[in-house]
Structure 1
Amino acid sequence: MSARDLFTFRNRHFTTSTGITAAIFIVTAIAGFIVLPFAQHWLEFASVWDAICSAAGVPQRPAAVAAAQDKRVSEVVLTSHTLSRPNQEAIGRGATLAQRCAICHGPTGISRADSPNLAGQYAAVIYKELHDFRSGARTNAVMSPFAVNLTDREIADLAVYYAYLPRLPAYHPTPQLPKPNIVIYGAPMRGIAPCGSCHGSLDNKTGSPWLEGQSEAYMKAQLQAFAAAERRNDISQQMRNIARAMTPQEIEEAAAYYASQPPDIVKAVD
């Protein structure tokens, strides 16, 4: 038999081996790109194509995200130098403005309810969130009406004032809990980085809030809102992508852990 006849479908051995190879490829492709993604019960896909894209490493486009595309997203640009050198006049003006915030966030920036603690929070974080509330990129029944009338200078003054305050223990601390795996290691197979890679006390990504001592109920609600794309003011959809991939148990563990941690008693700005 010549080499030309060897690789033709007239050769039953070539036909059989080609058929087996094609069948194995099809079965493994279906299992890897469709069956296994849908077997991950903590993920929700808008379609089979969405599952295939997810398995291939292409960013997901869940139905909730697609429906939210016509809504506003954050347009705030932050750098490591954003509000890094506040002056005393700005802090003083912020202190006066903050009297209107005390009912929810406490007179010293520590909330007695489940509002976020703002004392010692990074100035860039408060600056961004207030801008997002004002623009509609983030919405809240209380914060949106409050922020809509703030000027750029007032937003900056509030941010540097709260960043100037010392971080104090929370009013409702839970017993200190061990660090869960999702915080230490993340979940690389699901594209989840360790929480501390952005929210760490030693290495913080600009725009990421410090979380120690925050309200467990508040943090859990925000992670669930990111997962459902109800909150969408995260830059490049980072938190939405992470929260969607987290299991409900991981969300509860992360929120409970950070709520149980004492704050790092330092000022965010000097």
Structure 2
Amino acid sequence: MSTRELFTFRNPHFTVSVAVTVGLLLVTALVGFIVLPFAQRHETFAGVWDAICSAAGNPRVTQQGEAAPPPAKTSEAVLTSTTLAHPSQQSIGRGATLAQRCAICHGPTGISRADSPNLAGQYASVIYKQLLDFRSGARTNAVMSPFATNLSDQDIADLAAYYAYLPRLPAYHPEVQLPPTRIVVYGAPLRGIAPCGACHGSLDNKTGSPWLEGQSAAYIKAQLQAFASGQRHNDISEQMRNIARAMTPDEIEEAANYYASQPPEAIQRAD
């Protein structure tokens, strides 16, 4: 059989191949542009066309005929492994002056007693990113958003340098005879959950991921729940939102309690 005869509809094998390919394309388009958009729990469409527009990335129309609200603002911070890696002593000094306004929530030495995050020893890039996000509206908080609005880029860099300069609370996990917290050490690979320590310092640190040891259990739990619900959305590439959605309430509780472990004398020294 010649090549010309092979690629003609007189060849039954060629006809079946084309039909199967076209059928797969139609099924894929149906699932991707109609079935999956309608399957999203938080979306409401007036009709099939709105679902197709939404899947294609175009603004959709609500049932009332009004334009849908814009997506939540996400972080615009750009970080590298060298971001604020070598701050000057002048920057640290200016940050110490600015930090006096932060002491009521974050403690005079960067160790909070009010379930606000501990900032002492936190990676400078983390504080830098979060303050930028509070200022831009990518992350919102009734206290932090108004505070960050008037901060300049230099102010944010100075605050980050100062808090990174302070000694952090050490890791403390006294119950060595018990099995380690699985979600922190091993994650849950079958559900797409990486070990917490892979990004947050126990095993390695991903630029922009905070040091969690010694943080308040209430704070960590609240942030994981906010990521899971989508209330917090300043994580790059939705990494934390995807992880938190896949975590069970018990796993969130276990992770929060694991990182919050601190010896009594460490808390007393913070006073």
Deviation at 1:201, TM superposition (A): 3.4
Q: Measure, in 2, the Cα distance between the counterparts of 1:174 and 1:51.
A: 46
Aligned residues with identical type, % of pairs: 75
- The one-letter code of the counterpart of 1:255 is A
| 1:119 alignment partner in structure 2 | 120
Deviation at 1:167, TM superposition (A): 1.1
Compared CA separation, residues 102 and 174, structure 1 to 2 (3 A): farther
Q: Measure, in 2, the Cα distance between the counterparts of 1:110 and 1:162.
A: 10
User: Considering only aligned residues, what root-mean-square deviation do their CA atoms show, in Å?
Assistant: 2.7
Q: Measure, in 1, the Cα distance between the counterparts of 2:137 and 2:96.
A: 25
| 2:238 alignment partner in structure 1 | 237
The normalised TM-score by structure 2 is: 0.70
Q: Measure, in 2, the Cα distance between the counterparts of 1:175 and 1:153.
A: 40
| 2:81 alignment partner in structure 1 | 80
Compared CA separation, residues 84 and 189, structure 1 to 2 (3 A): same
The normalised TM-score by structure 1 is: 0.70
- The one-letter code of the counterpart of 2:220 is M
Deviation at 1:115, TM superposition (A): 0.2
Report the 3-state secondary structure (helix = DSSP H, G, I; strand = E; otherwise coil) of the residue aligned with 1:78.
coil
| 2:61 alignment partner in structure 1 | none
Structure of higher RCO (CA pairs closer than 8 Å, 6+ residues apart): 1
Compared CA separation, residues 260 and 68, structure 1 to 2 (3 A): farther
Mapped contact 1:50–1:62 kept (Cα < 8 A): no
Compared CA separation, residues 231 and 93, structure 1 to 2 (3 A): same
Report the 3-state secondary structure (helix = DSSP H, G, I; strand = E; otherwise coil) of the residue aligned with 2:141.
coil
Compared CA separation, residues 176 and 155, structure 1 to 2 (3 A): farther
Q: Measure, in 1, the Cα distance between the counterparts of 2:120 and 2:242.
A: 28
Compared CA separation, residues 51 and 80, structure 1 to 2 (3 A): farther
- The one-letter code of the counterpart of 2:215 is Q
The count of residues paired between Structure 1 and Structure 2 equals 206
Report the 3-state secondary structure (helix = DSSP H, G, I; strand = E; otherwise coil) of the residue aligned with 1:63.
coil
Q: How does 1:138-177 map to 2 (within 5 A)?
A: 138-168=139-169
Q: Measure, in 2, the Cα distance between the counterparts of 1:238 and 1:50.
A: 21
Deviation at 1:184, TM superposition (A): 1.2
| 2:184 alignment partner in structure 1 | 183
Deviation at 1:140, TM superposition (A): 0.3
Q: Measure, in 2, the Cα distance between the counterparts of 1:166 and 1:103.
A: 19
Q: Measure, in 2, the Cα distance between the counterparts of 1:89 and 1:135.
A: 26
Deviation at 1:169, TM superposition (A): 6.3
Q: Measure, in 1, the Cα distance between the counterparts of 2:244 and 2:86.
A: 33
Q: Unaligned 5+ residue runs, structure 1?
A: 1-46, 53-60, 266-270
Q: Unaligned 5+ residue runs, structure 2?
A: 1-33, 44-53, 55-67, 267-271
Deviation at 1:124, TM superposition (A): 0.1
Q: How does 1:14-163 map to 2 (within 5 A)?
A: 49=36, 63=42, 70-163=71-164
- The one-letter code of the counterpart of 2:42 is A
Q: Measure, in 2, the Cα distance between the counterparts of 1:147 and 1:210.
A: 21
Mapped contact 1:105–1:118 kept (Cα < 8 A): yes
Q: Measure, in 1, the Cα distance between the counterparts of 2:221 and 2:35.
A: 29
Q: Measure, in 1, the Cα distance between the counterparts of 2:189 and 2:150.
A: 42
Q: How does 1:173-252 map to 2 (within 5 A)?
A: 179-252=180-253
- The one-letter code of the counterpart of 2:84 is L
Q: Measure, in 1, the Cα distance between the counterparts of 2:255 and 2:69.
A: 26
| 2:62 alignment partner in structure 1 | none
Report the 3-state secondary structure (helix = DSSP H, G, I; strand = E; otherwise coil) of the residue aligned with 2:243.
helix
